Amino acid sequence: MKVAIIGAGIVGTATAHALLDEGHEVLILDKEGPAFGPSRGNAGWVAHTDILPIASPKIMRQVPKFLADPLGPLAIRPAYLPRLLPWLVRFVLAARPAAYERSIQGLAALQGLALPAWLKRLEAAGLKQHLHRKGGLYAFTDAAMLGHAAGIAKRQAEFGIKVEMIGPEDLRQLEPALSERFAGAAFHPDAAHISDPLALTTALFEAALARGAVFEKAEVTGISTGERPALVGRDGWQRLVDRVVVAAGAWSKPLAAAMGDAVPLDTERGYNVSFPGVTGLTSRPVGFEGHGFVMTPLDSGLRIGGAVEFGGLEAPPNHARTKLLYDKATTLVNGLPPYDSGTLWMGFRPSLPDSLPVIGKASRNPHVVYAFGHGHYGMTQSTATADLVAALIAGRPPAIELGHFSAQRF
């Protein structure tokens, strides 16, 4: 079969490989090119150990405090609030205890597939060197928050996730550059990080082309409902295929709407600063709990990023947020390079209110399959999502129950 994948980010690129494994003819379409969006600038974690959705009873108590600070870890641009209200309503509903538990079950199931899928894909592609298995840290300056994390660790253990609660001395043994302000950390020995998001996505994309996939730069504006879906674009552009995979990240919403699915997709604008060539400061990714940012030692240099801003796809970046992240980092990490030596970035995380992506068939055409909305976990979940999409297109039962990820759940 000829399968068109709309989107050349990490999810679309991973899906190309999974479909090539099945012997399909693969056409990758993107209006920009490979790794244009968050696949280029994300934090680079394979964070399969995270199983708690953002929408939770706890976060609802913190939202008013966050929103009072326009540069805080969660911000909404005032002009964008009316457009965001439907998403916010869904977020509140997803934070109810019963809905929260359902989201945990779905998220844990997908995360459980993530690392094995990555190991398999990188082995097959000859790209094992892009994955570093040195664990990950969530460090706490607040002793009370550290105590709460010990309770979360017990919940993670229910899903077979290893967590070691360590004190300040052991933390600084692992990462000597961290300041003495920390009360301790949760160490995930099985967590991993990648060489560099752009480098890995590009390498996988080129490997897909070498295997026979074809790339075409095109903006898809519509999909037909026929037995063989027709993709249409501007100026009369059209392609007829057998199956379609929508993996266009933050730009997937109108395509889903055309297929009869009103998906409450919005974008979390994420910020970071990267310091090319700065290596060796830390050995593994560190999340600074309560401070709203993470730090990753990529092969290409040190990356500091985080925070969530809702402002849509059109508003310009506000890098005062990035500077604030950096200023916080200087109080917690010794030896950081000067801010002015860094490279700034802002990208759009495709976000759904319950922290679960959309993976499944479209309402109006079962030959159209969705694979978008991974939020903070696009890199983590990409290869697992690709395998699930390949199973759907082949008519095989997927490895996990996909009801949690259906576009129709909304």
Cα three-residue angle 240-262-234, rounded to 5 degrees: 35
Q: HSE on the CB side for 162, CA within 13 Å?
A: 8
Report the C-alpha gap between 231 and 29 in whole angstroms.
10
What CATH number was assigned to the domain covering residues 2-135+190-409? 3.50.50.60
Per-residue pLDDT of the chain (410 residues; tens, 9 = 90+): 999 999 999 999 999 999 999 999 999 999 999 988 888 999 999 999 999 998 888 776 766 766 666 666 778 888 999 999 999 999 999 999 999 999 999 999 999 999 999 999 999 999 999 999 999 999 999 999 999 999 999 999 999 999 999 999 999 999 999 999 999 999 999 999 999 999 999 999 999 999 999 999 999 999 999 889 999 999 899 999 999 999 999 999 999 999 999 999 999 999 999 999 999 999 999 999 989 899 999 999 999 998 889 999 999 999 999 999 999 999 999 999 999 999 999 999 999 999 999 999 999 999 999 999 999 999 999 999 999 999 999 999 999 999 999 999 99
CB 203 within 8 A of CB 304: no
- Amino acid of residue 322: T
CB 294 within 8 A of CB 137: no
Domain-wise residue ranges, the chain: 2-135+190-409
| Terminal Cα distance for the chain, rounded | 31
pLDDT at 69: 66
Tokens of 286: 């560190």
The per-residue DSSP string of 268-293 comes to EEEEEEEEET--SS-SS-EEEETTTE
pLDDT at 301: 97
Q: Which residues contact 28 (CB under 8 A, 6 or more apart)?
A: 4, 5, 7, 8, 12, 13, 16, 205, 208, 213, 214, 215, 216
pLDDT at 68: 64
Report the C-alpha gap between 392 and 22 in whole angstroms.
12
Report the C-alpha gap between 84 and 280 in whole angstroms.
41
43 alpha-carbon distance from chain centroid: 9
Q: Flag whether the pTM goes above 0.85.
A: yes
